[in-house]
Amino acid sequence: MDKKITFGSHFGTIAAVGGSVIGLGNIWRFPYLVGSSGGSAFLIVYILCSLLIAVPIMMSELLLGRHTRSNPFGAFRKLSEYKIWSMVGLLGIITVFCIFAFYSVVAGWAISFFKTAIFEGFTGHSSQEISSNFKQYINTGWQPSLAALIFIVLTAGVVIGGIKKGIERINKILMPVLLVIIVGLFIYSFSLDGFSQAMNFLLQPDFSKIGINTIFAAFGQAFFSMSLGMGAMIAYGAYVRPETSIPRLTLTIALADLTIALLAGFAIFPGVFTYGIEPTSGPTLIFETLPLVFSMMPAGNFIGIIFFFLVFIAAITSSVSMLEPIVQFVMQELNATRAKAVVFISTLIGIAAVLCAYSQVENSSLIVFGENIFDFLNDATAKFSMPIGAFLIVIFTGWVVQKDIVYKQITNDGRHSNSLYFYYRMLLRYFIPAVLGVFILTTLFN
């Protein structure tokens, strides 16, 4: 990779990196986890996980990428004489491949629902009809497969354009659009009768509901939402300009990620409470529950169109950050052109996505360890490969990478706070490995 290739501007950097972390994790995953994990009790744990664990890990991934100007595999290879460490980068590439496979299926759902909102609408449909239609759609196999393939092609079209003309340009356009839409939906939610009830649900903590499952859910969400342990931040770090402050960039992105997730909850739950819908609906919250809400509210069809367009935007801005590290790897390690790498990897992901979609068909034989392929990849990446990858990244950055390299990247050659570097290093070397180690071992034994 040409080491001179960087994001073109500070705003472009924020938009691109922010686009990676602000995605379906905020719009699809976060609301149903809040609903099923104790409401605001989950929020408190999630914020602590983000600030004390996720932010330092993101800083570590960005600095590895910026210092080496390399893909995740190459970054570890360049910074250690022991080849075994390069396997950590390879684990990240495999992880992001698996995530993109099932992620594209969910994004395909958003495309299909966006089409339904435009041409059919949700008005007049009962909860049984909406649920039945969604299950019928899933059980066709070919429809979610086709939608996922369309999404993969759209993502490939962005990535094939390169960093400035592809990834940075699309994020500079879509991220402001996403913010305007979600703020608009939040403002609209003020007019709904369930707004105050939703605020209580989201903001009044019930500490009795904080248990091991809440902590595990918060950990998984922090890693999934902030694209950690899967190489995406290392790949994007390779394009971060030398003068950019990594701590400032990371904190900005983390704040934006949390803000968008909260706004999504504030936009979604008032309608859920207004129309007496169960807020703990699970993963299908925005695909079964919200269409019912749209069917009952004034101007529901129009709101549905806007909402599912928002979901699509969130999906595409994150998906380009998933495809880029794999493309980066193929380009650098196999000496392929960007176009050939994008086509090759997109084809493989398309095959995996089709398997994920068909594994959800009723009575499907596409089962791995008792789960369909879609659920297996979702659980395996969120509970195992991302936390394990992040654990190895912090060990590598805190104990293997030369201290002066880390210092120069975090402080921009001493131009920024030394005290921040001190706290970062303490978290990286002791606190985060201990917490992640307990989390991983507990998950394995459970």
Backbone angles phi, psi at 371, to 5 degrees: -125, 150
Q: Is the pLDDT of residue 281 over 70?
A: no
Specify the length of the chain in residues: 446
What is the C-alpha end-to-end distance of the chain, expressed in Å? 42
**CA gap 109, 105 in Å, rounded:** 6
* Highest averaged pLDDT of the listed ranges 285-299, 324-338, 432-446: 324-338
Please give the single-letter amino acid code of residue 156: A
pLDDT category, 272, cuts 50, 70, 90? confident
**Residue bearing tokens 């839409």:** 181
The reported pLDDT for the residue numbered 282 is 56
Q: In this structure, how many other beta carbons lie within 10 angstroms of the beta carbon of residue 41?
A: 20
pLDDT tens digits for 349-373?
999 999 999 999 999 999 999 999 9
Tokens of 126: 């009962």
pLDDT tens digits for 233-246?
999 999 999 999 99
The reported pLDDT for the residue numbered 35 is 67
pLDDT category, 4, cuts 50, 70, 90? low
pLDDT tens digits for 54-96?
999 999 999 999 999 999 999 999 999 888 999 999 999 999 9
Average pLDDT, the chain: 87
CB 48 within 8 A of CB 60: no
Backbone angles phi, psi at 372, to 5 degrees: -65, 160
Backbone angles phi, psi at 273, to 5 degrees: -75, -35
